[in-house]
Structures are given as structure tokens and as C-alpha cells.
Amino acid sequence: MKCLWIVMGLLLALNPGGWSRAQSPESFVPAYGKAWVNALPAPPSDDSPAGLADLETLLQVQADRTPAQVARAQRVEKHTPFLMGSAVFGKWFTSENLPMTAGFFKNAGGQFHPLLVRAKEKWLRPRPYFRDARVHPCLVAPNGTSYPSGHSATAAIWAELFSAAFPGQKDAFAAQVRETMWSRVLAGVHFPSDTQAGKILGASIGREMVGLPATQRALAEVRREIETYQRTHPANEMAGPAGISKS
């Protein structure tokens, strides 16, 4: 009996909040995830047509950049699943209002983030402003590598998860992925090919995550929490551009 109490004490010390599904150590990412990284093609070489187009696009975008576009880039720089969700559902979509949803995305992010790091370490592509001094980012210049875009990959993963929970909002979340991708190019911190590679990698990871029973259970709870909040706060209904679809 004494041993049992010791074990229980250790479990509580490790997780004083209890073992809710959203906070449990369940795996939301398949163990073979590194295969997605290996499946990515190499970034284009600087002197290839695609590589030259990458640089020319950034220089032209930079020449035409407006204050409104700079504001878009600054908003996306701080992206979170709640920034993406609030763009679709409304300003009420916050981590404070939806703590279980926040717990799920935090745990899921901790599991898929190493895959994105692995991809960047594999290619070690320099950022655009290290390749050409004519590129002037409108954000604080990240020091990390460029390919694939981590923001784009993460946005694509979030979109797959959100769309699985709310299929009626799939197009709205796809639009948010495109907004993330383009804003990183506007900012001058990524080449277009970086953002495309990020989208491809993230969508692949996200689709596989959605197929896991643990993720499906967690997403059912996410949907339940979001719909419960909306039902108990009717003033928020249709607060976002699209509202929450029941489909």
C-alpha cells in the first residue's frame, strides 16, 4: 500500500492538473514523421530559373510594399492557432476562453515542432537577406534558416486540425494558410519556394496527425469545447467572417 501511495504521489507531482485527454502524453504525431522531411525536394539552387525567380519576386514585392502589407506581415509574425482561429471564428476565440483547446494545440505543437527543425537542419538554406544584401526585411530579421518556412508549415498543420474538427470551415482555414505564406514573402524573410515547401510539409504532417485515434479524440473535445462556449455566449454567434459551421 505504501508503494501505491508513492506512485500516486509521483504521478500527481508530474501532472498536478490531472490526466485530461488534452493534457495527456498521448501521441498526436506518428513515429515515422521524419519520412515527410526526407520526401521534401531540395530547394532550388540560386542560379536555377526557380532560384532566380525566388529572388526577383522578393525584390519586386519589396519595391511595391505598402504600410498595410507591413502590418499584415507583422500580424502573421506572431501567429498562433488562436490568431488563425479568431480570423475565422471571431475575436472571442482565445486561449483564455478555450483552455482545453489551448492545451491540445500546445501538446501537439511540442510533438510536431522537432520535425520542422529537422527539415531546416537538413537543408540549411540561408535567409534571403543573407543571399542578397538588396533584400531588406520589414521585420526583425530571423537568424534561422529559410527552407522550409516554419510559419507556413505550422499554419498548414493547424489548418488540417481545425478543418477536421470543423469541415465546413476548410476553405476559410486554407485561406489563412495562404495569408501566412504570402505574409512571410511580403516580410522579406522567406522565398516563395520556402513557403510552398512549408505548406507541403505541414499539410502532410497534419493529415497524418488527423488519422490517429488520439488526435481524433482530442479534436472531438476541441469541437465540443468551442461549440459549448459559443452556445453559452450567444452574442458571439457568427462573430467571425464565417461563424462556426455545424457541418
Q: What is the pLDDT of residues 79-134, one digit of tens each?
A: 999 999 999 999 999 999 999 999 999 999 999 999 999 999 999 999 999 999 99
CATH at 125: 1.20.144.10
User: Taking every pair of C-alpha atoms in the chain, what is the biggest distance, in angstroms?
Assistant: 73
Q: Is the pLDDT of residue 5 over 70?
A: no
Residue 185, in any domain of the structure: yes
Give me the chain's average pLDDT, please: 87
User: How many whole angstroms separate alpha carbon 35 and alpha carbon 161?
Assistant: 20
Residue 165, in any domain of the structure: yes
Residue 37, in any domain of the structure: no
In eight-state DSSP terms, residue 236 is G
Residue 121, in any domain of the structure: yes
The three cell numbers locating residue 19: 490526466
DSSP string, 92-160: T--TTT-HHHHHHHHHHHHHHHHHHHHHHHHH-PPPHHHH-TT---SSPPP-S--SS-HHHHHHHHHHH
Residue 76, in any domain of the structure: yes
From 58-62, 94-98, 103-107, 140-144, the region with the lowest mean pLDDT = 140-144
Question: By residue range, what is the domain housing residue 83?
Answer: 66-247
Residue 80, in any domain of the structure: yes
Backbone angles phi, psi at 189, to 5 degrees: -105, -5
Residue 95, in any domain of the structure: yes
What percentage of the chain carries pLDDT values higher than 90?
Answer: 78
Residue 38, in any domain of the structure: no
Q: How many alpha carbons lie under 13 Å from residue 28 in its C-beta half-sphere?
A: 30
What lies within 8 Å, CB to CB, of 204 at 6+ separation is 36, 39
From 18-32, 50-64, 219-233, the region with the lowest mean pLDDT = 18-32
Identity at 167, one-letter amino acid code = P
The three cell numbers locating residue 2: 505504501
Domain count, the chain: 1
Q: Shortest CA distance to 119 belongs to which of 27, 213, 172, 194?
A: 194
Q: How many alpha carbons lie under 13 Å from residue 45 in its C-beta half-sphere?
A: 2
